[in-house]
Amino acid sequence: MSVISNIKEFWSRFEDEQNDLLQALKNKDYTALSEVLEGLDQECYAISGAHMFVEDTFEQPEMTFDAGPNKTTQLICQQMKKLAPSEIKKVWIINDTLPPLSQKAIEAQLQIKDEIYTLFDFTAFYTCDDQAQSFSIRLYCPGFSLIENPEHKREMCIYLVELAIGQNMMESFVSFVDYIDQPENGVDFCNLTELYDVIEEAVQKGKWKDYKHPTDIYSVYQPHQDFAHDSLRKDMKIIFTTNPSLIEESLGNKADVLLDLKAKDGEYGYVYFSNLFNGKDDAIFRQELSRKLDAAFAPLHCVKVIGGAIGKSFSYIDLIVFDKDLFLKAFSQIQKQLHQQVELHYRAFSEDI
């Protein structure tokens, strides 16, 4: 099995259940809808780590894979959207991460003691750092003073902000979320349901870098180590990645992220090759090769480039592998095509632990 084969099985089951889902949505038969959706949700969670929900929007029915911040889950859900059969895409709007102000968000209710609150009952106090291109947000609700556990309130706020602005905006532009028990004076504020528009206006006005998907956001690392090393993954001078947890764990010889993907029938690995120029041209060559590999693999949906590194002796292109057999066949052809220019090798991250 592979991530790809799991996804195809999911969509096959979805096609079998689709008419029942659509009928239940049309009839607003939420008991029938829950029964049909339960099995699909369990399968979706097993193969990706995301729960799913469906909504009957004004334009057409909509399904959402609520991936959360887990990058492995986000990457798999991205593939699920790409691999959805064309006939399903004609019928459904498909979100591979939580969108802003979904119907689920608008209808969400939070009970504190004997009172029921919705997103409309929360006020967002915010500060905007134009230089850092980020927002700090503190939520106020009259019921917060009745909750004693501060961590519970903080987690609640993070969840509510995600519901209001969506996963992509949350990761792109929000650096801090917390609660306050009393309104703050002298701080900009808005209703939580208006926060998306406030941030979007700042992004457009400041011409901030706008990300289309959470897996497009890169982090940069400079490992603290002895650069006398010239062995694999020990010579790295700079690392750039869309999956910080993977890099942090690999530098610490931990494997939780690797095991998470392995349980879903995938693998994290990297292509590596000896530096050719011993200078800045190595970075340029690695970047160009990374783009070529990503473009070559894209039609097969078997692998995606998620970052890389420049080292003293080697350069690296980091990958998430959705179908290892298909990837290795394609990679073998690329090795042959490029062997006169560069000698490429592949290695799983798990081999370094």
pLDDT of residue 294: 94
Q: How far is CA 261 from CA 157, 283, 287, 318, in A?
A: 29, 29, 26, 15
Q: Does residue 171 contact residue 217 with C-beta atoms inside 8 Å?
A: yes
pLDDT of residue 114: 87
pLDDT of residue 228: 56
pLDDT of residue 225: 64
- Opening angle at CA 78, ends 73 and 83, nearest 5: 125
Mean pLDDT by 10 residues, the chain (353 residues): 98 97 93 95 98 89 96 98 97 96 90 91 97 97 90 95 97 97 94 98 96 96 72 92 96 94 98 92 95 95 97 96 97 95 97 90
pLDDT of residue 182: 92
